[in-house]
Structure 1
Amino acid sequence: MTQEVLLTISGLHQMEFMENGDEENEPIEVITPASYYLKNDRHYVIYDEVVEGLPGVIKNKVKITGDDTLEIMKSGLTNAHMVFEKNKSNLTYYDTPYGQIQVGIHTRDMDVNVTEDLIQVEVEYGLDINHEAMADCRISMNIRPKQAADRVLK
C-alpha cells in the first residue's frame, strides 16, 4: 500500500578550496510531499524535484535496505543511481543537461532508525567528482506520514 508522506532532506557539503585552504559549507534543506511503500523489507520513497531555471522535473526514488544501504535513483533532467553502503565506496555516472560526470561516493557512516511514525536516515560520506576529492558530506532524511507531519508543523 502506498502512503502519502512528507520527506525532509537536510544536507551539508564541506568543500575545501585548494588555493587558500579555506572551507565553504553549503547547507541545504528540502521539504517535499512524497509517496512511500514497503516491499520485500525495503522502504521506498518516490518524489519529484523541480530544478529552478530548467523545464521539466527529476523523478527520484529512494530505496532503504536494512540499516546499511541507501540508494537514490534519479531520472528525467538528470539520471543517476547513487549507492551509499556503510564502509564502502561506489562509483556512478551522473548525467546532467550539461554532460556526464563520474561520481565517487565513499560512505563512512550510516544510521537508519525505523519507527511506526518516522524513518530517519543519517549518512556521512566523501564525494569525488571525476576522481578528484570534492567534499565531505552529510545527509539527513526524515520520512513521516503526512498526517503526523501536519500535526508537527501546526
Structure 2
Amino acid sequence: MTKDVILSICGLQFDSLETQAPDPVEVITVGEYYKRNNKHYVLFHEMMEGFEGSTKNTVKITDNTLDIMKQGVTNVHMVFEKNKKNITCYNTPYGNLMIGIFAKDVKIEEQDENIAVRVEYALDINYEHLADCQISINIKSKDAKDFVL
C-alpha cells in the first residue's frame, strides 16, 4: 500500500420505524496511509459546512477493532470492537452527546493495495437505542492498477 490513498466511507442507519431502505451517506476523500506495529492508520481532514477550520480524522485498524478519532470542529474517539459496548462523549458545535457503540460484527479484508472494513453496530445516544447501523470503509492505494472511482 502506498502512502497516498483514496478513502471511501459509507454509512447506513436502520431506524425500526422506517418502512423503506435507508439512503447511504458516503464520503470519498484523499488520505495518508501508514502501517506501524501491525496496525493500519489513515489520516485525512474534513470540512464542516458553516464552520471555520477542519477536523483531523485518524482511522486505526487492528485485527478485530476499528478506531475513529476526530479532532477539531468535532471531537470524539469511537471504538468498534466486536461484541463489546464502548461509550464516549461526542463533542459537536451544537453540543455534547454521550454515544454508545455496540459492534455486532467487525470484518477486515486486507490485500496489497486495498483494505476493506465493514462494521455492523447498534448506536445509543444518551443511553437510549437510536438505530442499528453499518459503516463500510475502503482504503485503496492511488497507484493501484485497478483504481476506479
TM range, smaller chain = over 0.9
Q: 1:126 to 1:149 in 2, by over 3 A?
A: farther
The answer to whether the 8 A contact 1:6-1:149 is kept is no
Secondary structure of 1:101's counterpart equals strand
Q: CA-to-partner distance for each residue in 1:18-39, whole Å, 9 max, x for gaps?
A: xxx3356241111100000000
Unaligned runs of 5+ in 1: none
Does residue 100 (structure 1) correspond to residue 109 (structure 2)? The answer is no
For the residues of structure 1 that align with 2:120 and 2:50, how far apart are their CA atoms?
Answer: 30
Does residue 36 (structure 1) correspond to residue 33 (structure 2)? The answer is yes
Q: 1:102 to 1:149 in 2, by over 3 A?
A: farther
Question: Cα offset for 1:15?
Answer: 2.0
For residue 55 of structure 1, what is the aligned residue in structure 2? 52
Larger deviation, residues 52-61 vs 82-91 = 52-61
For residue 67 of structure 2, what is the aligned residue in structure 1? 71
The answer to whether the 8 A contact 2:117-2:136 is kept is yes
Q: CA-to-partner distance for each residue in 1:36-61, whole Å, 9 max, x for gaps?
A: 00000000000001111221111100
For residue 119 of structure 1, what is the aligned residue in structure 2? 115
> Of 106, 113, 126, which residue of structure 2 is paired with 1:110?
106
* Runs (4+) off by over 3 Å: 21-24
The answer to whether the 8 A contact 1:14-1:26 is kept is no
Unaligned runs of 5+ in 2: none
For the residues of structure 2 that align with 1:23 and 1:134, how far apart are their CA atoms?
Answer: 16
1:1-20 correspondence runs (5 A): 3-16=3-16
For residue 91 of structure 1, what is the aligned residue in structure 2? 87
Identity over aligned residues, as a percent?
A: 51
TM-score computed with the length of structure 1 as normaliser: 0.90
Greater fraction helix: 1
Larger deviation, residues 35-44 vs 21-30 = 21-30
Question: Cα offset for 1:81?
Answer: 0.4
> Of 78, 83, 89, which residue of structure 2 is paired with 1:82?
78
The answer to whether the 8 A contact 1:14-1:23 is kept is no
The answer to whether the 8 A contact 2:2-2:142 is kept is no
Q: 1:142 to 1:149 in 2, by over 3 A?
A: farther
> How many corresponding residue pairs?
148
For the residues of structure 2 that align with 1:95 and 1:63, how far apart are their CA atoms?
Answer: 20
Q: 1:69 to 1:151 in 2, by over 3 A?
A: closer
